[in-house]
Amino acid sequence: MSDEDRGAGETPGASGDAAPAPRLPMLLEAVLGIGTDLELRTTLQHIVDTATELIGARYGALGVIDPERGRLTELFTAGMSDADRQRIGRLPDGHTGILGALVQDPRPLRLDDLTADPRSSGVPPGHPGMRSFLGVPIQVDTDVFGSVYLTDKRTDLFTEQDQALLLVLASQAGISIANARLYGTALQRERWIEGAAAVTTALLTGQTPHDALMTVAESARVLADAYAGVVLQPTEEGGMEIVAASAVDDPGDIVGTTIEPGSPVLVQLLGGEPVFIEDSSTDPRMTTHVRARFGPSMMLPLQSGGKLIGTLALPRRRGGRPYSAVDRLLATQFASQAALALVLADSQHDREQLAVYEDRDRIARDLHDLVVQRLFATEMMLESTRRRAAATGLDELLGRAVDELDSTIQEVRTTIFALQQPPADAPTSVRGKVLRETAGAAVLLGFRPSVHFNGPVDTLVGEPAGRALLAALRGALAAAHRREGVTTIAVQVDAAARLPDGQDGVRLVVTDDGLPEGAARRGAQDDTQNANAERGTTVTWESPR
C-alpha cells in the first residue's frame, strides 16, 4: 500500500494527531519500564522486546556497536525462537547489508521492501524472510551505542508515526543504557578493587614466592573473566617464561612456555607498555605454541620502581568477547597494585628470613660462648680429678664421664655449625654436605644419626675426596637402614687421620647397633639365635686428602 492510498479520505492533521493517540499510554508505560533495571543485558533485552510490541513488528533486534572496532559485538532479538537463532548461526559483522548501513550512517532508516534495496546483502542461510524494515540509532550521550531494528509490521507497513515513536523509545533507551553502564562499571570497579585488596592481603600473609604468583594469576583470571591468568618472569637469556598459570582447564602445557628475546611483544613489555591483542591465534606478534587456543588477550607489565619484575597475561578463548576500554583500564591498575604487593611480599619474606638467620646466629653464639665453654671447663675439672683419683678405683668411672662430655661437646659444635647454615641454601662445604646427608637419612630411619668431626674438615678435605666421602656415607647409611633393629647410628669424620701407609688422609667411620645381615637372616629361622647374635656393625672408609 502506498502513502497516497493510506492517506485517502484523511486530512494530514487528523492523520498526524489521531493515529498515535491509542499508543501513548503504551509508550509512557514502555518509557517508564525501560529504566527499572540497572543490569545492562537485561535492560537491552527489555528495550527490544518493548519496541517490538509497541510498534507491532513481527521481529526485532538491538545491535550493540563496538566504537573502537566499528562492528557489532552483540545482538539481542525478539520474535525469534531458539531454533531460528541456531539456524542463523553467526553474528552479523555490521560491515555489510542494511545493518552495516546503519552502523556506518547512524540515521533513521525506513524501507517498505528491504529486499529491493541494493544495500541488502549478506543474509545468512536459515534467516526468516523479512520485507518491511525500520531502524533507528540509540545514542548514549554523544556516542552511538547501537541500533534498534524492526521488521515485518503485522498490520501494515511502518509509518512515520512508528518511526517517531521508536525514536522516542530509543532516546529513553539511551538514558537507561547510560545509567546501566555507569552502574555496571561501578560494580566492575568495585570487584577489581576488592580483588586487588584481597590479593595484597594474601601476599602479605607469608606465602611462598610461587604461591604468591599463583594468587595473582588466579585472582586476575576470575576478575577479568578470562580463560587463563598467566604470570611470566624474565629469563637469564633476556626472554620471558611462564612460571605460574591458572586456567579453566588443565594449564599443565602452559607453564614453561617461553617468549624468545627480541619478540615485538617482549620489546613493548620491557619498555613498560601494556600489550592488547585482538586475536592471539592470528596476531603475528604472538609466537608461542599455545597461542592457537586464545583470542583477545591483555599482557600487562608488572613493574615497581621502574623495574620490570614480570608480566600478567589474561587471554580469553578464541572467538571470545573482546576486552573493553574499561576492562583494560581496571586490569592495568590491578597489575600495578599486584606488582607492588609482590615486591612488598618479597621484602617481607627477606625480612623474616633475616630475622630467622639472626636468631639462629644468636643461638649458635650462646651455645658456643656459654654451653660449650662450661662443658669444656667441666671436662677439664673431671680430667684433673681422674688423675688424682687413679688410686681409688674411680679412674674408669671418671674416664667414661670425660668421654661423654667430649662427645656432648662434639654434638653441640655440630649443632652450632648447622645453625649457621641458611636453611634454604644448599650447603657448599664438606661439613655442610655431611650434615645434609644425615638429615635426609633421618626421614627414613626415624631418628637422626649423631655426627662428629675431627680436624678442620672443610680446610683439609679437597673436592675429589669430598665427593668420594659423601658417596661412601650414602652407601653406609643405606646399608644401616636395611639392617634390623637399628636404633642409633654414629658418623665420625676424621680429617686428620693417619692412613696405614703413613699418608695424611680422611677417614669415615659409620657405626650402628643393628643386627648384621647374616645374623638377621638366621634370626628369621631361630629367634634364640637372633636374640644372642652380636649387635652392631661398623663401616670404615679411608682416602688420601
CATH number for 495: 3.30.565.10
Instruction: Give the residue numbers spanning the domain of 497.
Output: 427-545
Q: Is residue 349 part of a domain?
A: no
Residue 454 near residue 492 (C-beta atoms within 8 A): yes
Using a 10 angstrom Cβ sphere, with 0-12 exposed, 13-18 middle and 19 or more buried, the burial of residue 447 is exposed
Q: Is residue 503 part of a domain?
A: yes
CATH number for 318: 3.30.450.40
- Three cell numbers written together for 343: 615486591
State which of 185, 218, 247 marks the end of a domain: 185
- Three cell numbers written together for 29: 508505560
Q: Are residues 173 and 285 in the same domain?
A: no
Q: Are residues 62 and 179 in the same domain?
A: yes
pLDDT of residue 317: 87
How much is the pTM? 0.54
Please give the helix or strand (H or E) that residue 15 lies within, else none.
helix 12-18
Q: Is residue 399 part of a domain?
A: no
In the chain, the number of structural domains is 3
Q: Are residues 133 and 161 in the same domain?
A: yes
450-454 β-sheet, strand order: 450-454, 489-498, 504-512, 537-544
* Radius of gyration over every alpha carbon of the chain, rounded to an integer in angstroms: 41
Q: Are residues 449 and 482 in the same domain?
A: yes
Cβ-defined contacts of 377-384 (< 8 Å, 24+): 378/405, 379/405, 379/406, 379/409
Q: Are residues 133 and 206 in the same domain?
A: no
Q: Are residues 149 and 297 in the same domain?
A: no
Task: Kindly list the averaged pLDDT for each block of 10 residues, start to end, along the chain of length 545.
Answer: 38 39 64 65 84 88 77 81 69 66 82 79 66 86 82 88 88 81 86 87 76 87 90 85 83 78 82 86 80 87 82 88 88 88 74 69 68 71 71 66 69 63 61 82 81 85 88 87 86 90 90 73 45 70 87
Phi, psi of 153 (to 5 degrees): -65, 135
Q: Are residues 49 and 78 in the same domain?
A: yes
Q: Is residue 412 part of a domain?
A: no
Phi, psi of 96 (to 5 degrees): -130, 170
State which of 185, 212, 245 marks the end of a domain: 185
**Residues 176, 182, 183, 185, Cα dihedral to 10°:** 140
CA nearest neighbour of 410 among 420, 399, 418, 421: 418
Q: Is residue 391 part of a domain?
A: no
CA nearest neighbour of 310 among 198, 216, 386: 216
Residue 341 near residue 203 (C-beta atoms within 8 A): yes
- Report DSSP letters for 325-361, one per residue: HHHHHHHHHHHHHHHHHHHHHHHHHHHHHHHHHHHHH
Q: Are residues 81 and 135 in the same domain?
A: yes
Q: Are residues 197 and 170 in the same domain?
A: no
Q: Are residues 460 and 522 in the same domain?
A: yes
Q: Is residue 364 part of a domain?
A: no
Q: Is residue 2 part of a domain?
A: no
pLDDT of residue 525: 45
Q: Are residues 158 and 229 in the same domain?
A: no
Strand partners for 143? 140
